[in-house]
Amino acid sequence: MIADDNLAKRNLYIMMAAQAFAGAQMPMLFIVAGLAGQSFDINICWATLPISLIVFGSMTTAPWLSSLMQAYGRRFGFIIGTTGGAIGGALGAYALYQNSFSLFLLASYFTGIYMSAQAFLRFAAIDTASEEFRPKAISYLMAIGLIPAILGPQLVKISADIFVIPFIGVYLSVVVINIIGAIFFIFLKIPLPKKIDATSKTGRSRIELLKSPKVSVSIICAMVSYALMNLVMTSTPLAVVGCGYDHKDAADIVMAHVLGMFVPSFFTGHLIIRYGAPRIISLGLIILTFSGITNLLGIELINFYIGLIFLGIGWNFGFIGATTMLATSYEENERGRAQGMNDFFVFGFVTIASLASGSLMNCSAATPIEGWTSVNIAMIPFLILASFSLIWLSKKNFN
């Protein structure tokens, strides 16, 4: 695809506008899904299963949605995403009304279709961008997350209790913001990738891509950054409420966390250009470590705020750095294959993390405080894995 930064900027503005509205559903649902899960007559260990189903939906959607985008374009894929999000919101509201946990899980799966499409925004932002503009495009797109980071928790505060059954209003709000997002995506213009001649080389297979050190380390670092963020964030509302605070406190803490995820995006791209993606990923892993340490030091609100802000910043550096590194490791005709495989592994790992989060928080210990401790200790082996993969890559490049 020929680089055209003017077209890249036009599309970037459209995606930023769509993300400003539709993106609000993710902090909204991560705040309330676990709390709503506890309202059903189920084993409390499964309270975060709805969040896991969101991520599982994203994981299983990524391969086929990536292929559809490769064949029919980004606009088609993003409209499928917002449609899935709207269906998820409508089903979620109906499930709460009917007190049906199984239907609530189905709603979460449809939300995962939106989550998968949202993840492809970072790749769409660089489809027509020059090599120099790519890190900035990803960074600017992530920066717009400030708006849904603020909008989402405020919508939860406004809509959570407007009906007799808690949280129905949140899910109905999700329907509206998906419709708004879909309208913006209609105006997206990203050329389809060049058709590959049947007799020409179609690029590396998935196995061959995974054998590339740059590809495999990019995927590992993205997996770890996103999974650890999800592991801790999923349990945060349960931990905050379990430690005696209000669900509005949980909303404010999640808002601070999501601000931490996106505020650094104003300069992350510039840092990557100056220092390189591996160094920024390394910095992200260090900050994620500080997040875990802060959370282990106490259960005061200030600990939750600081720990979750660190968690967001660490995710930002780790995930944007890994995405940028991956984007320089494949050819255009490998784009759909590499991106779909990356998101399948990333969200597969995140699914496991979200499942583990609920079990660690509610079932691994006798009290919420002990459960919260277990969640944060669980970060350690994965931080080690990502760190050693970066060291291995640096030695490969050096040699």
Candidates 148, 301, 312; CA nearest to 228 is 312
Domain boundaries, the chain: 5-192+206-398
Q: What is the DSSP string of 296-310?
A: HT--SHHHHHHHHHH
What is the distance between the alpha carbons of residues 165 and 238, in angstroms, rounded to a whole number? 19
> pLDDT band at 391, cuts 50/70/90?
very high
Candidates 144, 112, 122, 142; CA nearest to 29 is 112
Which letter, b or e, does each residue of 256-282 get, where b requires 16 or more Cβ atoms within 10 Å of its Cβ?
A: bbbbbbbbbbeebbebbbeeebbbbbb
Q: Are 111 and 54 in contact (CB under 8 A)?
A: yes
Helix (H) or strand (E) holding 333: none
pLDDT at residue 87 greater than cutoff 50: yes
CA 334 to chain CA mean position, Å: 23
Question: Collapsing DSSP states into helix, strand and coil, what is residue 125?
Answer: coil
Q: Write out pLDDT tens, residues 136-188.
A: 888 788 888 888 888 888 898 899 889 888 899 999 999 999 999 999 999 99
Q: What is the DSSP string of 61-121?
A: HHHHHHHHHHHH-HHHHHHHHHHHHHHHHHHHHHHHHHT-HHHHHHHHHHHHHHHHHHHTH
Torsions phi, psi for 397 (to 5 deg): -70, -35
Angle 64-230-57 (CA atoms, 0-180°, nearest 5)?
25
Candidates 306, 323, 126, 297; CA nearest to 225 is 323
What is the distance between the alpha carbons of residues 332 and 329, in angstroms, rounded to a whole number? 10
pLDDT at residue 399 greater than cutoff 50: no
What is the distance between the alpha carbons of residues 252 and 305, in angstroms, rounded to a whole number? 9
What is the distance between the alpha carbons of residues 386 and 225, in angstroms, rounded to a whole number? 9
The average confidence (pLDDT) of the chain is 87
Q: Write out pLDDT tens, residues 299-347.
A: 999 999 999 999 999 999 999 899 889 988 887 778 778 888 888 888 8
Give the pLDDT score at 367: 87
% pLDDT > 70, the chain: 96
- Kindly tell me the burial class for residue 173, based on how many C-beta atoms sit within 10 Å of its own C-beta (0-12, 13-18, 19 or more): buried
Topology of 5-192+206-398 in CATH? Answer: Growth Hormone; Chain: A; (1.20.1250)
Give the pLDDT score at 198: 45
Average pLDDT over residues 364-369: 82
Average pLDDT over residues 201-228: 88
Torsions phi, psi for 304 (to 5 deg): -60, -45
Give the pLDDT score at 366: 78
Q: Write out pLDDT tens, residues 217-255.
A: 999 999 999 999 989 988 888 899 888 888 788 888 988
- 249 φ/ψ sector (left φ>0, alpha ψ -120 to 50, else beta): alpha
> In whole angstroms, how large is the CA radius of gyration of the chain?
20
